Amino acid sequence: MAIFSKTCEYAIRAVFYIAHKTANGGRVGIKDIATGIVSPELYLAKILQDLSRKGLISSYKGPNGGFFIEPTSLSKPLSEIVEAVDGDSLFYGCALGLKQCSEVNPCPLHNDFKAIRDKIHLLLNTTTVGEFNNELMNGLFSLKK
Amino acid sequence: MAIFSKTCEYAIRAVFYIAHKTANGGRVGIKDIATGIVSPELYLAKILQDLSRKGLISSYKGPNGGFFIEPTSLSKPLSEIVEAVDGDSLFYGCALGLKQCSEVNPCPLHNDFKAIRDKIHLLLNTTTVGEFNNELMNGLFSLKK
DNA sequence: ATAATAAAAGACAAAAGTATCTTCTATTAT
DNA sequence: ATAATAGAAGATACTTTTGTCTTTTATTAT
Spatial contact of A85 and A78, defined as CB atoms under 8 Å apart: no
Q: A141 vs B108: CB contact, 8 Å cut-off?
A: yes
Measured from Cα to the C1' atom, the residue closest to D25 is A61
Point out the residue among A95, A98, A136 whose CB comes nearest to the CB of B142.
A98
The predicted pLDDT at position B76 comes to: 94
CA distances from A104 to A91, A111, B64, B139 (A): 19, 11, 36, 12
> For strand C, which nucleotides have at least one atom less than 7 Å from a protein CB?
3-10, 17-22, 25-29
The predicted pLDDT at position A141 comes to: 95
Radius of gyration of chain A from its Cα atoms, rounded to whole angstroms: 17
The predicted pLDDT at position A60 comes to: 84
Q: A4 vs B145: CB contact, 8 Å cut-off?
A: no
Q: Which residue of A lies nearest to B13 if distances are taken between CA atoms?
A: A96
Q: A135 vs B87: CB contact, 8 Å cut-off?
A: no
Query: Is it the case that residue A65 has pLDDT exceeding 90?
Result: no
Complete domains list, chain B, with CATH: 6-137 (1.10.10.10)
The predicted pLDDT at position B24 comes to: 85
Residue range A107-120: mean pLDDT, rounded:
97
The predicted pLDDT at position A44 comes to: 94
CB pairs under 8 A between A and B: 121
Point out the residue among A1, A141, A144 whose CB comes nearest to the CB of B86.
A1
Q: Phi and psi (nearest 5°) for A26?
A: 90, 175
Residue range A82-108: mean pLDDT, rounded:
95
The predicted pLDDT at position B126 comes to: 98
CA distances from A83 to A8, A17, A87 (A): 9, 19, 4
Residue of A1, A77, A80, A6 lying closest to A40 (CA atoms): A6
Query: What are the mean pLDDT values of chain B's consecutive 10-residue runs (145 residues total)?
Result: 94 94 88 91 91 88 84 93 94 95 96 97 97 94 89
The predicted pLDDT at position A36 comes to: 92
Protein CA B58 to sugar C1' C6 (Å): 60
Q: Which residues of B touch A105 (CB under 8 A)?
A: 142
Residue range A84-93: mean pLDDT, rounded:
95
The verdict on B16 touching A (C-beta cutoff 8 Å) is yes
The SS3 of residue A95 is coil
Query: Is it the case that residue A26 has pLDDT exceeding 90?
Result: no
